[in-house]
Amino acid sequence: QSALTQPASVSGSPGQSITISCTGSNSDVGGYDYVSWYQQHPGKAPKLMIYDVRKRPSGVSNRFSGSKSGNTASLTITGLQAEDEADYYCCSYAGSSTWVFGGGTKLTVL
Amino acid sequence: QLQLQESGPGLVKPSETLSLTCTVSGGSISSSNYYWGWIRQPPGKGLEWIGSMYYSGSTYYNPSLKSRVTISVDTSNNLFSLRLSSLTAADTAVYYCARLLSDDDAFDVWGQGTMVTVSS
């Protein structure tokens, strides 16, 4: 079970859009529509932002959206705001009741 | 409102066994709609899924940790526990407990996390 691959960092200016990728394999991301995304501010617990590839929990801004193509899932944030600066992690179901996280991406709002 | 709270020692010696408890309040651990899990995060690093369990007692572990991990449930006290044996410095991390949506395979509620340091 290998960690999913995410870029170490991405950045964008307020109002812009960014996309974070999450690459796995046919055994996880490509094999199931159970990809979730988490936002983590320093010293805080992760917060669920996207589940089932593209669904948003109640209370999460519609500026956050998810998608998937093959073995790569993506998180897009539109209209960047200063409060979006955080670490973002993807997670995928990997079969046999196991889950795997990505290495995390640090988003900097310039 | 569902809340999860981790508890346990902040410092453990190498080769010893870590025991952590996650107390669930504001909801029942025995609901068929959820699994319950442990995730950890070494300082400055990413998240790692440790294992998950169902209230019936079924357990599922990360293959890389399976030989050292035990997760158990206490439905009468609405809590579940993690035991991790043969500790090394590499096990130093913030340990989180979380609720896992059984139909959507996502961790939707998290505890605040507890820092565990492995050091003599």
| Interface-testing mutation among A40, A97, A100, A106, with chain B (most B C-beta atoms within 10 A) | A97
- Contacts for B58 with CB less than 8 Å, ≥ 6 apart: none
pLDDT at A1 over 80: no
DSSP one-letter string for A20-78? EEEE--TTTTTT-S-EEEEEE-TTS--EEEEBTTTB--TT--TTEEEEEETTEEEEEE-
The confidence score (pLDDT) of residue B102 equals: 86
* pLDDT tens per residue, range B16-69: 999 999 999 999 999 889 999 999 999 999 999 999 999 888 999 999 999 999
A78 vs A95: CA distance, rounded Å: 32
A53 vs A69: CA distance, rounded Å: 10
* pLDDT tens per residue, range B60-93: 999 999 999 999 999 999 999 999 999 999 999 9
Residue type, A69: S
What's the rounded mean pLDDT across residues A42-70? 97
The confidence score (pLDDT) of residue B55 equals: 87
The confidence score (pLDDT) of residue A18 equals: 98
Closest chain B residue to A45 measured between Cα atoms? B112
The confidence score (pLDDT) of residue A94 equals: 95
Cβ proximity of B61 and B68 under 8 Å: no
Q: Which of B52, B101, B110 sits opposite A97 (nearest CB)?
A: B52
Mean of the per-residue pLDDT values of chain A: 97
